[in-house]
């Protein structure tokens, strides 16, 4: 009799659990969304990692799958195919997509200054002004944003392309290490500390040519979503964006440096802690160059300049009026 009662109670408990769990007894179910980054999980995604591992997405009722990116993964295409809800893309990708009819909106700009710069050896060459680029061998990724930026610098400085030697770069730095190329494009915050340390170890000095310092403001990583999501699910966008920007604010706060470094290292095991610390310190300057600038601010003028640059170089045929795709808060 006693055993019968125990079994009966157990069955009732299981039934109650089965009924209550789907109806939200354990709290509101989380909305599952996919977030496609532009590149791999490293310091350039510090805030994304912080928002995810710090639990800010969950606090806002979201279960976000943060997916690393790469050259073969296009977040804009994934938005349109419904495989991602949000993504990270650079201005050139967004403008090119808009020119082909993609329905995409920019909801935040993560990098206020583009970290793309050119590394060189100051012992061998001096590159203080764009004029110093004359007669140099400059690495560019043909078809990449660095091609646009370098060609914009040359055009602005009235330097003919025949006055420089443009060298097609790949993923490995061998031609630069061998001295066959004078300037090589790198992401200052992510690759700079690694390549710079390697060169310094070999007894070489390191210099960086920064296009932004010479008036070329090209927009890098920005958060995007589709027109449809922005129109139909504004609450979702708000929840996602507030959690994401909170993550970025926390990650960029020097007081949280230790925690941020540990989180990044957890996602990017191959990069030593000391390198991540240096990368993070550099990243702060690109995300929030000035404390008055809120994290995530959309720099409309920089977007317009990027569009003009692409128009001038024939990368797009007609203006896309980029300001219409910017959701300035």
Identified binder of other proteins from the candidate list 160, 178, 202, 324, rule CB under 8 A: 178
Place of tokens 């659990």: 17
Stretch that binds other proteins, among 69-77, 117-125, 237-245, 298-306 (CB under 8 A): 69-77
Minimum CB–partner distance for residue 287 and other proteins (Å): 25
| Partner residues linked to 65 by β-bridges | 34
Query: Is 318 one of the binding residues for other proteins (CB under 8 A)?
Result: no
Paired tokens of 239: 């929840």
Q: Which is nearer to other proteins, 56 or 173 (CB)?
A: 173
Q: Which is nearer to other proteins, 51 or 320 (CB)?
A: 320
Looking at residues 286 to 315 of the shown chain, list those that interact with other proteins (rule: CB under 8 A). 315
Alpha-carbon span 195 to 193, nearest angstrom = 6
The answer to whether residues 78 and 290 touch, using CB atoms and an 8 Å cutoff, is no
47-to-39, 65, 284 alpha-carbon distances in Å: 14, 14, 11
Query: Is 17 one of the binding residues for other proteins (CB under 8 A)?
Result: no
Query: Is 96 one of the binding residues for other proteins (CB under 8 A)?
Result: yes
Count how many residues are written for the chain: 329
Q: Which is nearer to other proteins, 23 or 162 (CB)?
A: 162
Q: Nearest-CA neighbor of 125 among 167, 190, 172, 176?
A: 176
The answer to whether residues 160 and 116 touch, using CB atoms and an 8 Å cutoff, is no
Query: Is 158 one of the binding residues for other proteins (CB under 8 A)?
Result: no
Sign (positive/negative) of CA torsion 5, 10, 16, 19? negative
Minimum CB–partner distance for residue 159 and other proteins (Å): 22
Alpha-carbon span 266 to 106, nearest angstrom = 29
Q: How many residues bind other proteins (CB under 8 A)?
A: 26
Q: Nearest-CA neighbor of 78 among 70, 89, 87?
A: 87
Sorted by sequence, the CB contacts under 8 Å of residue 66 that are 6+ apart come out as 35, 37, 41, 45, 48, 49, 52
Identified binder of other proteins from the candidate list 100, 158, 269, 324, rule CB under 8 A: 100
* Radius of gyration of the chain, Cα coordinates, nearest whole angstrom: 24
Query: Is 168 one of the binding residues for other proteins (CB under 8 A)?
Result: yes
Query: Is 91 one of the binding residues for other proteins (CB under 8 A)?
Result: no
Query: Is 28 one of the binding residues for other proteins (CB under 8 A)?
Result: no
Query: Is 71 one of the binding residues for other proteins (CB under 8 A)?
Result: yes
Stretch that binds other proteins, among 14-22, 56-64, 142-150, 230-238 (CB under 8 A): 142-150
Query: Is 74 one of the binding residues for other proteins (CB under 8 A)?
Result: yes
Q: Which is nearer to other proteins, 243 or 315 (CB)?
A: 315
Q: Which is nearer to other proteins, 102 or 127 (CB)?
A: 102
Sequence-ordered alpha helix ranges (H) in the chain: 2-20, 46-53, 56-59, 75-80, 91-99, 145-156, 174-177, 192-201, 227-232, 234-252, 257-267, 273-287, 300-312
Query: Is 263 one of the binding residues for other proteins (CB under 8 A)?
Result: no
Minimum CB–partner distance for residue 82 and other proteins (Å): 9
Stretch that binds other proteins, among 139-147, 195-203, 213-221, 230-238 (CB under 8 A): 139-147
Q: State the residues that interact with other proteins by CB under 8 A.
A: 71-72, 74, 76-77, 80-81, 93, 96-97, 100-103, 141-144, 168, 170-172, 174-175, 178, 315
């Amino acid at each position: 009799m006693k055993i019968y009662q125990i079994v009966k109670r157990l069955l009732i408990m299981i039934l109650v659990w089965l009924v209550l769990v789907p109806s939200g007894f354990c709290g509101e179910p989380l909305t599952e969304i996919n977030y496609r980054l532009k590149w791999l999980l490293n310091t350039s995604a510090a805030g994304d990692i912080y928002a995810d591992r710090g639990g800010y997405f969950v606090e806002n009722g979201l279960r976000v799958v943060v997916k690393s990116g790469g050259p073969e993964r296009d977040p804009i295409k994934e938005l349109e195919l419904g495989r991602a809800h949000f993504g990270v893309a650079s201005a050139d990708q967004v403008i090119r997509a808009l020119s082909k009819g993609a329905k995409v909106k920019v909801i935040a700009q993560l990098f206020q200054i583009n970290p793309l710069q050119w590394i060189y050896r100051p012992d061998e060459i001096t590159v203080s002004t764009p004029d110093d680029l004359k007669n140099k061998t400059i690495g560019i990724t043909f078809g990449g944003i660095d091609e646009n930026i370098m060609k914009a610098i040359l055009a602005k400085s009235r330097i003919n392309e025949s006055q420089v030697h443009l060298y097609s770069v790949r993923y490995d730095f061998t031609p630069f290490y061998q001295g066959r190329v004078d300037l090589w494009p790198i992401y200052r915050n992510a690759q700079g500390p690694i390549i710079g340390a390697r060169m310094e170890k070999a007894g070489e000095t390191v210099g960086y040519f920064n296009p932004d310092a010479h008036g070329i403001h090209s927009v890098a990583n920005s958060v995007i979503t589709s027109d449809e999501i922005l129109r139909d699910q504004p609450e979702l966008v708000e929840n996602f964006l507030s959690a994401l920007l909170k993550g970025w604010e926390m990650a960029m706060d020097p007081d949280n440096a230790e925690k941020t470094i540990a989180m990044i290292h957890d996602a990017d095991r191959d990069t030593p802690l000391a390198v991540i610390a240096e990368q993070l310190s550099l990243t702060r300057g690109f995300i929030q160059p000035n404390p008055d600038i809120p994290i995530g601010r959309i720099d409309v003028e920089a977007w317009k300049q990027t569009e003009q640059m692409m128009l001038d170089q024939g990368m797009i045929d007609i203006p896309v009026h980029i300001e219409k795709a910017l959701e300035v808060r």
